[in-house]
Structure 1
């Protein structure tokens, strides 16, 4: 999960986290339109999945959470 400069949260999946973060910040080509106007972004939470399918299911579940629930998830991971 990324926190954008405007305080919004972005959730996605990536095989190469460092490369994907560089794309989100405009250091490499690619990256979604959503973060393009909300740079810089910073990594605030990550989770490892056993497979791509599992990662996609977890991403969908996280996207269904409220902002407060997402922030609680980040806070628990930071402890």
Structure 2
């Protein structure tokens, strides 16, 4: 599991979570609850010896609605 710091670029909220894999840019992810869908806009990896950073990766996301998320999944299957 990776410790991830999620940064919402629209409303500037930040929260820490754990993910089993690191997503790629433009991938859609669902976090914590069925109604929190995000599209990944950027990723940065922290330097391993940084004592002030309890997380390994920063992910910059934009919140999306469920319809956008479902359409993205549908496009990937075609």
Same fold (TM over 0.5): no
Point out the structure with max Rg over C-alpha: 2
The structure that is strand-richer by fraction is 2
* Larger helix proportion of the pair: 1
TM-score w.r.t. length of structure 1: 0.31
TM-score normalized by the length of structure 2: 0.31
